[in-house]
Amino acid sequence: MSERAPVRDWATDFDHRDPRWVENPYPIWDELRRSCPIAQTERFTGAYFPSRYADVKTIAYDTEHFSSRRIIVRETRPPLIPAPPITSDPPEHRAAKQVLLPAFTPEAIVRHEPRTRDICRALLARFADKDGCDAAVEYAQEIPVRVIAHMLGVPEQEGDRYRKWIHEILELGITDVAVALRASDEMNAYFAGHIAERRARPRDDLIDYLINVRVEGRALADEHINGTLRLLLIAGIDTTWSAIGSCLWHLASHGEDRRRLASEPGLMSSAVEEFLRAYSPVTMAREVVKETQVGGCTFTPGHMVLLSFPAANRDPAEFPDADQVVLDRTENRHAAFGLGIHRCIGSNLARMEIRVALDEWLKRIPEFRLDPQAPVTWSQGTVRGPRRLPLAFGAAAPS
Amino acid sequence: MAGQARLKVRVDRERCQGHARCFALAPELFELDELGNGRERGDGTVAPGLEGKAHLAQANCPELAVEVIEE
């Protein structure tokens, strides 16, 4: 990792790649909410960090002053890499999103549930009879990559290649923009091949759907299809992988919740929502394009905003006992999938994958805990989740 | 005043962004259109016994698009 000056003060010099933030950001955010709810930094050529739910919501709704054309805070401002609709602003956003929505409704997603269940069971069969596993590497990261590959109609076994691109774009690319641009070019070439192949031999998958769909009578340009495919692959993998990993991390370290969820399957859907709130994986970004005021702070054009749905979801002004995981929380307007027009298009897919992954895991491995011999490590940057999650199976030996 | 007030639910189509929480929590009261956006079933009348689900849907809509109206 490149050498970075340590953070002097979180309110005026924050760095979301600082090891303390990566390890456990929640106390930092709690302190900011109390002392300086919109933090700033000169790093990343100038960025803001709103920590309160209300401010995050205001900015997410305000597409006039806050553009989505750049959605990752990097050291420099690289050329724009369109991936519609996530990088689209009104008025273009609406059509780019609507074209995808029918493929991601709960009804469309439920068709992929049997395949998802098969994937989870096959992965569990590899390690369930051992003493333990790395649940991030051997389970969580393998599920979404296979499910999205299945939906796109690209080979499921190419997961390593996809994860490499994602790592380069979302993590390494924050400081080394050339790495992100190269990965983006490689993805472009990869999908161009798949698009050409579908034109010659149609198949019934999401790439085919994008080729055949019409917006006001017109087909999507290849560039648009390619951008959307890059988005679906990137957005559909390490996000859900992180969410599944965080759920298992929580259950491994909170025996009461684990036993309760294993014995009360009816709690699963509110529990998944609560995990999504408490351990939201995705932080988005916006670029300030017109000067404005939010929460008493002036936002200057050209600066970026780290739009932290995870921090919003820990705001006690919106969620009583915000730092507690309450499996049967009844009021939960969490923003894990964003707020406003950019609501995550894969939210129904992600929920299905998380629910199935936990359900299958708990059926097969109801008792597990963190392996005291090996550390958990967390991802750095835009998406938060465990990257190493060594678990030991079975009840702990009495001490 | 005879008995409880009758309830109706309504989804504000302008606010709805398709989180689909209302449909997940109260499918008896809400449905989704072909884009996955929520709307109330029929005229939104809440049948006796479903009042709790109506309020649950309201309490879980991130966009504050679900209204529960007393008639």
Residues of A with CB under 8 A from a CB of B: 98, 101-102, 104-107, 269, 273, 330-335, 337, 339-341, 343, 347-348
Task: State the average pLDDT for chain A.
Answer: 94
| % pLDDT > 90, chain A | 83
Provide, as residue numbers in chain A, all residues whose Cβ is less than 8 Å from the Cβ of B18. Answer: 101, 343
Provide, as residue numbers in chain A, all residues whose Cβ is less than 8 Å from the Cβ of B56. Answer: 330
The pLDDT, as a whole number, for residue A349 is 98
Over residues A37-60, mean pLDDT: 97
What is the Cα Rg of chain B in Å?
Answer: 12
Instruction: Name the residue among A84, A87, A149 with its Cα closest to residue A115.
Output: A149
Query: Is the pLDDT reported for residue A313 higher than 50?
Result: yes
| CB A128 within 8 Å of CB A365 | yes
Contact A101 B32 (CB under 8 A): no
The pLDDT, as a whole number, for residue A22 is 94
What gap in Å lies between CA A249 and CA A227, rounded to an integer? 33
pLDDT, tens only, B15-70: 999 999 999 999 999 999 999 999 999 999 999 999 999 999 999 999 999 999 99
pLDDT, tens only, A72-125: 898 888 888 888 899 999 999 999 999 999 999 999 999 999 999 999 999 999
- CA within 13 Å, CB half, A35: 12
Q: Which pair of structure tokens corresponds to residue A256? A: 């009461």
Q: Report CA dihedral (A81, A86, A91, A97) to the nearest 10 degrees.
A: 130
Confidence of residue A1 (pLDDT cuts 50, 70, 90): very low
pLDDT, tens only, A150-163: 999 998 888 889 98
Sign of CA dihedral A195, A235, A161, A82: positive
Closest residue of chain B to A330, computed from CA coordinates:
B56
Closest residue of chain B to A105, computed from CA coordinates:
B36
Q: How many CB pairs under 8 A join A and B?
A: 50
Q: Which pair of structure tokens corresponds to residue A307? A: 């739009």
Closest residue of chain B to A270, computed from CA coordinates:
B25
Closest residue of chain B to A60, computed from CA coordinates:
B63
Query: Is the pLDDT reported for residue B2 higher than 80?
Result: no
What is the least distance, in Å, from the CA of A329 to any CA of chain B? 10
Identity of the residue in B18, B36, B60 whose CB atom sits nearest the CB atom of A331 = B60
The pLDDT, as a whole number, for residue A4 is 78
| CB A186 within 8 Å of CB A162 | no
Most confidently predicted of A137-146, A199-208, A228-237 = A137-146
Q: What are phi and psi of A92, to 5 degrees?
A: -65, -25
pTM of the model: 0.95
Q: How many CB atoms neighbour CB A280 within 10 A? A: 26
| CB A318 within 8 Å of CB A39 | no
What gap in Å lies between CA A349 and CA A108, rounded to an integer? 9
Q: Hey, of A57, A348, A349, which one would you mutate to test binding to chain B, going by the most B CBs within 10 A of its CB?
A: A348
From residue A325, alpha-carbon distances to A42, A160, B24 in Å are 34, 33, 21
What is the least distance, in Å, from the CA of A60 to any CA of chain B? 11
Could you write out the DSSP letters of every residue in A145-193? HHHHHHHHTS-GGGHHHHHHHHHIIIIIHHH-HHHHHHHHHHHHHHHHH
Provide, as residue numbers in chain B, all residues whose Cβ is less than 8 Å from the Cβ of A330. Answer: 56, 59
What is the least distance, in Å, from the CA of B18 to any CA of chain A? 8
What gap in Å lies between CA A8 and CA B58, rounded to an integer? 43
Query: Is the pLDDT reported for residue A188 higher than 90?
Result: yes
Confidence of residue A170 (pLDDT cuts 50, 70, 90): confident
The pLDDT, as a whole number, for residue A3 is 66
Instruction: Name the residue among A233, A90, A220 with its Cα closest to residue A152.
Output: A233
Confidence of residue A387 (pLDDT cuts 50, 70, 90): very high
Q: Hey, of B19, B30, B37, B66, which one would you mutate to test binding to chain A, going by the most A CBs within 10 A of its CB?
A: B19
Provide, as residue numbers in chain B, all residues whose Cβ is less than 8 Å from the Cβ of A102. Answer: 34-36
The pLDDT, as a whole number, for residue B1 is 44
Contact A332 B59 (CB under 8 A): yes
Contact B36 A269 (CB under 8 A): no
pLDDT, tens only, A224-282: 999 889 888 888 888 999 999 999 999 999 999 999 999 999 999 999 999 999 999 99
- CA within 13 Å, CB half, A245: 31
